[in-house]
Amino acid sequence: MKAMVLENEANVSTNPLVLRELAEPHPGPGHVRIRVRVCGMCRTDLHIVEGEISPSTRPIIPGHEVVGIIDRIGNGVKTFREGDRVGIAWLQGTCGHCEFCQSGRENLCAQPIFSGYHVHGGYAEYAIVPESFAYPIPSLFSDEEAAPLLCAGIIGYRALRRSQVKPGQRLGLYGFGASAHITIQIAQYWGCEVYVCSLSQDHQRLARQLGAVWVGNAMDSPPEKLHSSILFAPAGELVSPALRALEKGGTLALAGIYMTPIPSLDYTQDLFQERTLQSVTANTKQDGLDLFQEAAIIPIRPYTKSFPLEEANVGLQCLKAGTIQGAGVLTIAS
C-alpha cells in the first residue's frame, strides 16, 4: 500500500513525510481493516511531524481523522460488517481496567493508544482499528465533511463541555482553525453568542460568515465580558488575556495537546473572582458518539480543502501557515 511515512521529525518545510510502498496490514482479533478514503490533517499531526510532540514509534504513519470502508474483519468482530463506512479518531485503545477507564474517563488512561502516534494512522491506503473504537459515520456527511469531525469536531465538543458554557451565554474562541470553525456551529445551535480572536484575516472573515457577533485580533479584548472561552491556538501568551476577558466565575478551556510556555499569571487580575482554568485531554468514546449525533441534527457543515495523499507535506505547510479555510483533508481513494 502507499503511505506517507515520518521517519525523522523535522520542520515541515523540509518535506519530512516520505511516500513509501508498504505491505498491506491485516486485522487481528477484534479489529477491522479500513480502506481509507480520506484523512483529515490535524495540528497534532504537525506537532508530531515537527517533533514538538515526539512520536513514540518511528517510522510512523500519521493521521487520526480517518474515514473509509471496512474491507476486512478480524476474528470475533460483531459490531461491523464489510462495506460499513467508519471513522478512526485519535484515541483507539485503553487498558480498560484503571480507575479512569472504569469511571468513563478513558481519555485519562495511563496506557492509551493513539492513532498516528503509537500505531500507524490514516495517511495511507489502509488502516487498522479495534471495533470498539471505530465510529459509524452518519450518511448525511460526505467523506470530506466527516474527517475533521473525528478530531477537530470531537475536541471542540469536549472543550465546549469543559468550558462550562450554558445556552445563551457569551463564548470566546481564541484561534479559528479547523476545530473552532466546527465549535462555533455547535455553540450557535446551543444559543450562545460567539466572540472570536484570530490573527488571520481569512479566518476572521470565515468567523463572521459563520455568525460570530464580534471578531478581533488575537490580543484584542472583546467588548463584553465572556462567560466561557476556549483557547485553540497553541500560544501560551494568550492565556492571561483570555482569563482577563472572562466574567466573574468564568472558565477558560485549553483545547490543544501542545502549547508554548505560559507566562506568569497575576492572581488578582487573571484568576481571582473564581475564574477557572481547564485543560482538555483527548476524548472519551462517548464524546465522539455524542458529537456525531448532535452534528447530524444541527447539521454541522465543515469547510474543507483537499490535497492528494502525495501532497501531505504541502497540506501541513498550508496548515502551519494558516492558509486553510476550515480543515485540510487528504484524499486517498474514491
What is the C-alpha radius of gyration for the chain, rounded to an integer number of angstroms? 19
Amino acid code (one letter) for 116 = G
CA 314, 118, 116 angle in degrees (round to 5)?
25
Q: Tell me the domains of the chain and their CATH numbers.
A: 2-152+282-331 (3.90.180.10), 154-279 (3.40.50.720)
**pLDDT tens-digit readout, 221-280:** 999 999 999 999 999 999 999 999 999 999 999 999 999 999 999 999 999 999 999 999
**pLDDT tens-digit readout, 25-53:** 999 999 999 999 999 999 999 999 999 98
- In contact, 115 and 122? CB cutoff 8 Å: yes
pLDDT at 334 over 70: no
- The alpha carbon of residue 57 and the mean position of all alpha carbons in its chain are separated, in whole angstroms, by 21
**pLDDT tens-digit readout, 68-86:** 999 999 999 999 999 999 9
Q: What is the pTM of this model?
A: 0.94
Question: What local confidence, expressed as pLDDT, does residue 277 receive?
Answer: 97
